[in-house]
Amino acid sequence: MKQSNISRNILSGIENLMLHKLRSFLTMLGLVFGVGSVIAMLSVGEGASKEALTQIRKLGSTNIIISSIKSAEQESSSTSRSFLSIFGLTYEDHARITESFRNVRQTAPVKIMRKDARLREREMELRVVGTTPEWFDLVQREVIAGRILGWVDQQRQTPVVVLTEFGTRKLLATESTIGQTVLISGNQFEVIGIVKSESGAAGNIQVPDQEVDAYISIEVAKGYFGDIFAKATDGAWIREKVELHQIIVQADKTENVESIANAIEEMLQKFHNKKDYSVSVPLALLKQAEATKRTFNIVLGSIACISLLVGGIGIMNIMLASVTERTREIGIRRAIGAKRKQIIIQFIIETVVLSTVGGFIGIGIGVLIPVLITYFAGMPTVITFQSIVLPLLISAGIGIAFGLYPAIRAAQVDPIVALRHE
């Protein structure tokens, strides 16, 4: 019996709203745009945050990345042809880090060089990365074909190379890849494997690999290319001596990452006269990014909820006007036995129907906007279950909250006065 009464009240509420279609539609617009903007803004924020967090996680939550940088004094030094700039990490730094900390699981030294690569008529510039087999444990990348560098290659100083998928397609577009010989700066290297790379940056930390990478043994890199490199800057050739461009350190536990990073920085300060290195901790950046994501979502949600509030005020105004218009109807219903509770329920049902329908339309718009943003702007967006349910619940709650006062006013109308109302 109660269920049939509720159904009848809902149908009656829909009929009353349909008597003024345009007014009902205009009333819903505030909630439509409010719900749509909440979903759209949260999905854009979630997409941007997720991309940044994914990039950071790929660096490894237990990794510490130490990079060579030029100090401020070296940046302002002379750029004459005879000038040799010596800075950055050394092989001794790598040995000290490996041997000094018992909570360090493994390390990987990295030497980076820009070299021209050639296969018959095809030619491109590669970023040659001289490293050890541990690199592929610390920076895990999918092996597409062949194998990665091994300890035998390291010990025998075999001239072999692992290419990225991008470099393989450029150099070996029509060739069978594994076993081919590629000339890198005039030196022959046999291709033994292909890996998928992840280019880009994660916050303030440069992702260790790029699309144009070629991985060789660090011993081969030292023997073939040495430690001194020349590059052109402002019309002058600068010679730089850098033994290692990066050292990637893996801690045994996430709890030890920050303490190891601090200890490494203290140790480097003792052996480096100038600040020619930087210590980056992906875990710390991950925590910061997650905190920023939460703040970002709260701010975006708060801004979008303002439009929901405006929509709720619009609903209250319309329902107050509806109470005035339907004063005689209320008087008749009270005269034939309707209780105040029934009048309140009737008006609340109308506002909830109005806000819920507006919420569902807003969901459609809110889902469509991120899809269009991703399609036309190429920005990643993520629509979560919470970003859809939350605005819908808020819109229904607004319908109840802002419809309660007009409903109470309608129930308080004196039946005799209401029947005399013109």
Domain ranges of the chain: 2-55+288-420, 63-252
The reported pLDDT for the residue numbered 75 is 61
Label residue 6 by pLDDT band (50, 70, 90). Answer: low
User: Residue 31 pLDDT more than 90?
Assistant: no
In this prediction, what percent of the chain has a pLDDT beyond 90?
A: 25
User: pLDDT-derived band of residue 83, with 50, 70 and 90 as boundaries?
Assistant: low
pLDDT at position 26, please? 81
Mean pLDDT over the full length of the chain: 81
Lowest mean pLDDT among 96-100, 201-205, 241-245: 201-205
* pLDDT (0 to 100) of residue 175: 64
Mean pLDDT of 260-289: 87
Q: Which of 119-133, 138-152, 338-352 has the lowest mean pLDDT?
A: 338-352
C-alpha to C-alpha distance for 91 and 317, rounded to whole angstroms: 75
Q: Is 80 exceeded by the pLDDT of residue 237?
A: no
pLDDT exceeds 80 at position 66: yes
For residues 143-150, give the mean pLDDT: 91
The pLDDT assigned to 271 comes to 92
Q: What angle do CA 171, 173, 178 make, to 5 degrees?
A: 75
Sign of CA dihedral 295, 296, 299, 304: negative
pLDDT of residue 37: 83
Nearest-angstrom CA–CA distance, 247 and 14:
68
How confident is the model at residue 36, as a pLDDT?
87
**What whole-number distance in Å separates Cα of residue 167 and Cα of residue 177?**
11
Instruction: Calculate mean pLDDT across residues 251-274.
Output: 91
Count the neighbouring beta carbons within 10 Å of the beta carbon of residue 309. 15
Q: What is the pTM of this model?
A: 0.65
